[in-house]
Chain A
Amino acid sequence: MAGALAHTVDQRFWNRATQTADRERLDALHLARIRHLVGWAYDNSPLHRRIYNAAGVKPADIRTWDDYHHRLPFTDKPDYVRDQESSESGFGGLALGPEHWQQYFHTTGTTGRFLHEAFSQFEMHKAGTQLCYGLWGQGARPRDSIYFCFDFGMWVGLWTYYWGARNLGLTIVSGGGATGEQRVRHILERRPAIVCGTPTYLLHLAEIAEREGLDLRRAGVRILAGGGEAGLSVPRIRERLTEAWGAERIHDAYGIGEALFIGQSCDVWAGGVHAIEDVCHSYSVDPDSGEPVTDAGGVGEHVITSYTHLVQPFIKYRTHDLVRIDDRPDHGCGWTWKHFPGVVLGRSDFMVTIRGVNVYPTAVENLISEVPGLTHHYELHLSRRDGMDRMLVRAEAAAGVGDLSDLAARLSAHLRNNLGVRLETEVVHAGTLPRYELKTRRIFDAREPGARAATPAEGR
């Protein structure tokens, strides 16, 4: 593939023309696409037409960024869930019916209210382009091989990695249906250039290899790629993975269940991921007022419009991820696309107020990983006593750590210093906690359903 390119083509970028375009040109492209999509959704999706009619807005009204920010209504997951529950198809927000679908999925979640997602064949191809920008930047090239540590199910995130690998021209090695030990042995045999998995699982494989006396560093894996959790942008976890696998690069992908992996690492790691602006528009708002965040470095709720979805449009869609957006990044990679330092900083809809302080589980998770002597395995237990929310942080010590109470005290102090509130902490022996595949499973909410703000992060 790349072999046919002219020598003059800049091969540092997957698609230089847009990846390095100036902010004004990018914004003009975004506005044109958004206006087109709003018209598409109004004409074809009964849900969107209802929402826009209720707000007294017609597609022709959306001409400027001010119109987009202030006239066009937000959409949110409950809009789609309500629509899917009342529709014969079982899908919400549809603009094209089943005769156009090639595959369908559902989001992950802890409440049992999955959002069903339908994709046309073209949308799957388009979704397959998203991963290419980042993986190409990390040095992945056609005919490099990629090993997938997955059993493919109904969660779209894994599939988009697979489509991305196909689109980039990678050789695919499936680890489906294998045990962890078998996967370690496959990787040592096959020597893939890239291994794809969640950070928790990649560390888990490193533990298995160590237990079995196998040296994963001898597999020659250049790139560890994944997402679905915060770990791949947490410095300490990146260091552990680099050390255990001997990998040159760690690739993080930030996904939103409804818009796929729309954030990717670049080749100059700057503590976060870039928005993939060819496939999505991103901005952030004050979660309460809905006003755009305008101050540089301000944290807000990430709101997206996806250009990948036509069957089921997602326009000005509230992700409930709290992010910081640098819209003119300058850390040497050459990309002009917006950058999210720290990736997801928390959730606007899954917050626990403890003695007056708002605590986000994602923030706690990041802080746990900063305490020396702790592993990345943890559980968060939420409860309510006498009307007050409580959070118990149960973390696991590294092998060989003896004084667990001292470690619990250090964890407590680190959380208090950074969050401004004391949380209950407990540290258990190495190897005690279950190895969760998805972050959401590690959060145990024993509060009455009505007391919960909402479900934890979807797809991340």
Chain B
Amino acid sequence: MAGVAQGTRTRTDLDPLPPPGPGTGPGLGPGLGVDVERQRARLLALHAHLAREREAALSPAIERALETAQMYLFLALGYTGHTDELFPDELQVPDELRGAQAASPSTDATEARESRS
């Protein structure tokens, strides 16, 4: 399967929780330590690099090999406490698809607020 898995979606209506501990910057995980955060950032960059290479794959063989590589890489991300995405396809949702999802009813924050009142 090339590119994005159909049906994969990423939540856009969840407000970030306050950072749970010291040493946790915005957008980072809940602080498993500076070294772990640095590794997590490097792994994310590597994942993006693999995604670009996958788009330029010269054969199904190469594309599939890189897809599998991304799956293993995503295991490493999980070990570093990565929570923004829970499986590799979520990382690959392009911006235009994210925009379409934000307009879907289930991700409408207003609806969620109404249900609380």
A17 touches B11 (CB 8 A): no
Given contacts A17-B36, A122-B87, A310-B86, contact A60 B31 (CB under 8 A): no
A303-314 interface bits toward B, Cβ cutoff 8 Å, 1 = contact, 0 = none: 000010010000
B14 touches A31 (CB 8 A): no
Check: B94 CB closer than 8 A to any chain A CB: no
| Residues of chain B within 8 A of A37, CB atoms compared | 86
A61 touches B115 (CB 8 A): yes
| Residues of chain B within 8 A of A36, CB atoms compared | 11, 14, 83-86
Q: With A18-B32, A129-B78 given, name 16 new contacts (CB 8 A).
A: A17-B36, A18-B79, A21-B81, A25-B21, A29-B29, A31-B17, A36-B84, A39-B11, A39-B13, A40-B86, A43-B9, A58-B112, A61-B116, A121-B71, A126-B78, A307-B86
- Write the chain A residue with the least CB distance to B114: A58
B112 touches A24 (CB 8 A): no
CB distance from A355 to the nearest CB of B (A): 48
The binding surface of chain B is classed by DSSP as loop
| Residues of chain A within 8 A of B7, CB atoms compared | 44, 95-97, 100
Check: A452 CB closer than 8 A to any chain B CB: no
CA distance A60 to B14 in the complex (A): 6
Contacting residue for B75 out of A56, A57, A120, A125, CB 8 A: A125
CB distance from A244 to the nearest CB of B (A): 36
B83 touches A58 (CB 8 A): no
Check: B109 CB closer than 8 A to any chain A CB: yes
CB distance from B112 to the nearest CB of A (A): 3
CA distance A39 to B74 in the complex (A): 20
CB distance from A27 to the nearest CB of B (A): 8
B20 touches A25 (CB 8 A): yes
A29 touches B33 (CB 8 A): no
Check: A28 CB closer than 8 A to any chain B CB: yes
Given contacts A15-B79, A24-B20, A99-B6, contact A42 B88 (CB under 8 A): no
| Residues of chain B within 8 A of A139, CB atoms compared | none
Contacting residue for B20 out of A28, A60, A122, CB 8 A: A28
CA distance A220 to B27 in the complex (A): 50
A17 touches B5 (CB 8 A): no
Given contacts A40-B86, A59-B13, A63-B15, contact A25 B79 (CB under 8 A): no
A17 touches B80 (CB 8 A): yes
A32 touches B83 (CB 8 A): yes
Contacting residue for A17 out of B33, B101, B115, CB 8 A: B33
| Residues of chain A within 8 A of B87, CB atoms compared | 120, 122-123, 126, 310
The interface of chain B, by Cβ under 8 A from chain A, is: 1, 5-9, 11, 13-15, 17, 20-21, 29-33, 36, 68, 71-72, 74-75, 78-81, 83-89, 101, 104, 106-107, 109, 111-113, 115-116
Check: A238 CB closer than 8 A to any chain B CB: no
| Residues of chain B within 8 A of A28, CB atoms compared | 17, 20-21, 30
| Residues of chain B within 8 A of A129, CB atoms compared | 75, 78
A40 touches B112 (CB 8 A): no
B83 touches A278 (CB 8 A): no
CA distance A196 to B39 in the complex (A): 34
Q: In chain A between 37 and 63, which residues have their CB closer than 8 angstroms to a CB of chain B?
A: 37, 39-40, 42-44, 49, 56-61, 63
CA distance A17 to B31 in the complex (A): 10
Check: A236 CB closer than 8 A to any chain B CB: no
CB distance from A8 to the nearest CB of B (A): 10
A33 touches B32 (CB 8 A): no
Contacting residue for A61 out of B29, B86, B112, CB 8 A: B112
A24 touches B21 (CB 8 A): yes
Contacting residue for B14 out of A35, A57, A95, A120, CB 8 A: A35
A58-89 interface bits toward B, Cβ cutoff 8 Å, 1 = contact, 0 = none: 11110100000000000000000000000000
Sampled A-B contacts (7; CB under 8 Å)? A35-B14, A40-B86, A61-B115, A63-B15, A121-B68, A129-B78, A310-B87
| Residues of chain B within 8 A of A35, CB atoms compared | 11, 14, 17
CA distance A63 to B15 in the complex (A): 9
B32 touches A122 (CB 8 A): no
B106 touches A42 (CB 8 A): yes
- Write the chain A residue with the least CB distance to B13: A60
| Residues of chain B within 8 A of A24, CB atoms compared | 20-21
Contacting residue for B11 out of A43, A49, A99, CB 8 A: A43
Contacting residue for B109 out of A21, A33, A60, A95, CB 8 A: A60
Given contacts A43-B9, A96-B7, contact A126 B75 (CB under 8 A): yes
